[in-house]
Amino acid sequence: MSLNRRICIGSRKSQLALVQTHFIHEQLQLHHPNQAFTIETMSTQGDKILDVALAKIGDKGLFTKELEVGMVNKEIDLAVHSLKDLPTKLPKGLILGCITERVNPADALVVNEKNQAYQLETLPENSVIGTSSLRRLAQLKHHYPHLSFKDVRGNVNTRLKKLDQGEYDALILAAAGLERLGMSERIHQIIPAEISLHAVGQGALGIECRDGDTEVIEILKVLEHPASRDRCLAERAFLRELEGGCQVPIGVNTKIENEILTLTGLVASLDGQKLIKDTVTGSPSEAENIGIKLAVSLRNQGADEILAEIFSQIQRNPGIIS
């Protein structure tokens, strides 16, 4: 398929975003060799504010809004996102065009030179763990209350530099990001789901485009990975039903085996003391209903009370991690 117009792909300017966008560009060009594609980069609010905890500046479109405005204004035709950064409720006129094949969605432990002998469970008391995620914070506090946690911002290279300079004993990062950046050797330990359920959509790319742009929607079909789509749609429905943003301790894990989709989800308090967890299964064709069903189950077990308490804590103390 080839269109008379050039298709402009929007991307954040961070290294990881550009790696992901160039990958999508290459895949689209491979499948549509006669179509012209260009890339336009933009800085988002999340890229510009690096000295403030994410919980303080909010999460609604923190890494996506500028790209979405670009699509609405027809400055770009589609945008490549880490799916975990894309809000579950999109602006009017925009849709999730496709979800790409997911890579490892797990969290990873990264340590500096002096801590190479340790795993997460053996790190000494009061070891300083860097994370900007309340989801990771809550789960790790639940399992390892003897560790200390400190907010860390910036791109992956900036965070690793801070780690290697001794500001932290370890970092928790997404395995997918390290792998895509060619930094797999920095992964010291993949954290099992029993310890840390991952973020909604983590490991997958979401391609956002204009609703009704049938030509672009058709072009994107070659990137769709059905199993990843079904898993991620279940996760996003779960998050959307709980009305939790990326800066709320909501974790998930999904798998599809023998035509059965299994979704596990949790809601945890910031101190890790309260943790509600459950699992729902069903047909992948009912992915969103599975997510909603799990959210209702956690609500019935007290999730709303935990989330209300978290929002109140963030309002009172935005720098909650440190």
Catalytic residues: 85
Residues 211/94, Cβ–Cβ less than 8 Å: yes
Amino acid at 212: G
| Partners of residue 172 on adjacent β-strands | 109
Cα–Cα dist 67/40, whole Å: 10
Q: Helix or strand or coil: residue 125?
A: coil
Cα–Cα dist 236/232, whole Å: 6
Show the DSSP H helices in the chain as ranges.
15-31, 45-48, 54-57, 65-72, 134-143, 156-164, 175-180, 214-220, 226-242, 287-300, 303-316
Cα–Cα dist 29/36, whole Å: 8
Residues 242/47, Cβ–Cβ less than 8 Å: no
